[in-house]
Structure 1
Amino acid sequence: MKKSLVFITFFIFFLLTACKESKISLGHNVYFNKEENIHYGNNPDQVMDLYIPDKKLIGEREVFIIIHGGGWRGGNKSQLTFFTLSMMQRFPDHIFMNMNYRLASATQYGIPNQTDDITKVTEFLKERLSYSPKLILLGNSAGGHLSMLYGYYFHADKEVKAVINIVGPADLSDTGFKNYEEYSFVEKHLVDPKILPTATSPVNFASPIHWITSASASTLSYYGTTDRVVPLSQKKILDSILSKNNVIHESYEFKGGHLDWDKRPNNTFLIDKIETFLKHIDKK
């Protein structure tokens, strides 16, 4: 209990002083250099926060790319700042990038803009680091969906080491997901029709499971038992397709709804599982 209070006190202090400090301490000799609101494109939404370990290490560091949720047309990277800091404590040798992306609207499609934005930040990283880092895509809700879609289709190569999908829809044609109150927006405005392959519907194109192959990135998923936005049926569908293609994967359930994954003890359980999962991949 005492440790938890110290941890919470630190984060309150961090959030109050974040705009003034260029280096942050997470305790236990863990230091990161941070840069906030870096522009990686000309659109006001194309900004990101970058955290690079202050500790010098030999070799190339892996990168967590953090992608927020919000129904593809809302949300902000600030929603995942606290979770990103918690992850940094557990992974002090990794680089973290917490990104905003161009939001969808009735006049602007989400895809390929949003997946293109992920490409832009990876290109920024390559230039900044002078090497091509291994990527771990981590997102919640729409961010989980984009992490899967990007990892399985738009950037399906060996640079994507793993996908951490938190309450992200994997099959947009799932009957349970069709109860989503903004489903008509998903059908009409998520995908630009100009990029659709012949005889492929927008819903199928935007469904990550449609693009899973035996070469797809290892995937860890986390779903709520009472989620009314992205139902638990999504977990079963995703697990089934990953298993059929012999993709390394794990999935877990937490008690709660769509936003409860980031509450204790669900968030600490998730970080524990992410750490174990990535160690498991490294041994393969």
Structure 2
Amino acid sequence: MKKDIKIILFFLCLFLSGISCTEKKIKLGKDISFDKEENIHYGNSTEQVMDLYIPGKKTTRKKDIFIIIHGGGWRAGNKSQLSFFTLSMMQRFPDHIFANINYRLASENHYGLPDQMNDIKKVSGFLEKKFTYSPTFILIGNSAGGHLSMLYAYKFDIDKKVKAVINIVGPADLSDPGFKNYQEYSFVERRLVDPRIPEPGTSRIAFASPVRWIGQSSPPTLSYYGNSDRVIPSTQGKILDSVLNKNHVLHESYQFNGGHLDWDKNPHDQFLIDKIEAFLKKTDKK
């Protein structure tokens, strides 16, 4: 893991002129630097770890925190998948704190929910305690991570600490007939949600669908979907937009030319970061 991250940082150094990198201090240009704390444990499980990036420039202003949530079908994946994207975001948001997290994965012996929701809650509580103030959080995730970002923000963020959600190719309605073509759908039905959690009369698929929990107080949401995605059908974005519209929630959605894994390739990644920056300025005025 550490070797992989060093390789990523090394190539980032070559890619971006004027950058010098060390294991603990990351410099992204002349005036942008971050202190990196790697593989911090926020819980007792070996999976409950995160990489934390703290702006090197000290200010008295309370900083918003990005929580980065990887994809992998709820049962695979790792925070290292989003290390490069996190570094690109850090360049654009040098005054923000970034937490790139792992979470407990679902398996044939372990339900994904509610543990994955509890992991996001544990991360936010850990960060509040570490920085000794009550920050607002921006959840940003791709694929299953996009789904978890939305579900947590719409359903589980009781204290309304989430300022915005950035949903990248995340499924929003698991009951959508188009999504049922997902090759791992039977696993989603069987192992994503602990059957003891939903209230009587609520199916596990309905419980795990973010759109079910959208209300007028839901946080602003930006979505990004591929127009030739064979994993997440285009109907997902349309359903999400419709429900957000109905509840008068500030939102924006964009499409890129490509499939499920193409969102972080040039120029799609830079387009997304541009839109995130503009969108968050709107949420500040909200």
Same fold (TM over 0.5): yes
Could you tell me which residue of structure 1 aligns to residue 238 of structure 2?
236
Question: Equivalents in 2 of 1:29, 1:198: separation in Å?
Answer: 55
Question: Equivalents in 2 of 1:156, 1:259: separation in Å?
Answer: 32
Could you tell me which residue of structure 2 aligns to residue 159 of structure 1?
161
Could you tell me which residue of structure 2 aligns to residue 177 of structure 1?
179
Could you tell me which residue of structure 2 aligns to residue 168 of structure 1?
170
Q: Secondary structure at the match of 2:196?
A: helix
Could you tell me which residue of structure 1 aligns to residue 252 of structure 2?
250
Could you tell me which residue of structure 2 aligns to residue 70 of structure 1?
72
Question: Equivalents in 1 of 2:59, 2:199: separation in Å?
Answer: 44
Could you tell me which residue of structure 1 aligns to residue 190 of structure 2?
188
Question: Equivalents in 1 of 2:264, 2:201: separation in Å?
Answer: 39
Could you tell me which residue of structure 2 aligns to residue 21 of structure 1?
23
Could you tell me which residue of structure 2 aligns to residue 3 of structure 1?
none
Q: Which amino acid aligns with 1:172?
A: L
Question: Equivalents in 1 of 2:69, 2:160: separation in Å?
Answer: 20
Q: Secondary structure at the match of 1:197?
A: coil
Question: Equivalents in 2 of 1:30, 1:113: separation in Å?
Answer: 35
Q: Is the 8 A contact 1:53 1:95 kept in 2?
A: yes
Question: Equivalents in 2 of 1:66, 1:234: separation in Å?
Answer: 21
Offset, 1:159: 1.1
Residue 140 of structure 1 pairs with residue 113 of structure 2 = no
Q: Is the 8 A contact 1:156 1:216 kept in 2?
A: no
Offset, 1:42: 1.3
Q: Is the 8 A contact 1:77 1:98 kept in 2?
A: yes
- The Cα offsets for residues 146-170 of structure 1, whole Å up to 9 and x where unpaired, read as 0000000011443100000000000
Q: Is the 8 A contact 1:148 1:208 kept in 2?
A: yes
Question: Structure 1 length as normaliser, TM-score?
Answer: 0.94
- The Cα offsets for residues 78-108 of structure 1, whole Å up to 9 and x where unpaired, read as 0000000000000000000000000000110
Question: Which of residues 37, 48, 65 in structure 2 aligns to 1:46?
Answer: 48
Question: Structure 2 length as normaliser, TM-score?
Answer: 0.93
Question: Equivalents in 1 of 2:199, 2:134: separation in Å?
Answer: 29
Identity, in percent, stands at 67
Question: Which of residues 116, 121, 124 in structure 2 aligns to 1:122?
Answer: 124
Question: Equivalents in 2 of 1:66, 1:192: separation in Å?
Answer: 24
- The Cα offsets for residues 16-56 of structure 1, whole Å up to 9 and x where unpaired, read as xx996211101131000000000111111111000000101
Question: Equivalents in 2 of 1:197, 1:75: separation in Å?
Answer: 30
Structure 1, unaligned runs of 5 or more:
1-6
Q: Which amino acid aligns with 1:45?
A: E
Offset, 1:198: 1.2
CA change 1:33–1:270 in 2 (3 A) is same
Question: Equivalents in 2 of 1:61, 1:137: separation in Å?
Answer: 14
Question: Equivalents in 1 of 2:237, 2:158: separation in Å?
Answer: 21
Question: Equivalents in 1 of 2:237, 2:36: separation in Å?
Answer: 35
Please, which moves more after superposition, 151-160 or 19-28? Answer: 19-28
* Count of matched residue pairs: 275
Offset, 1:8: 8.8
Q: Secondary structure at the match of 2:263?
A: helix
Could you tell me which residue of structure 1 aligns to residue 104 of structure 2?
102
Question: Equivalents in 2 of 1:52, 1:23: separation in Å?
Answer: 10
Q: Secondary structure at the match of 2:282?
A: helix
Question: Equivalents in 2 of 1:53, 1:218: separation in Å?
Answer: 25
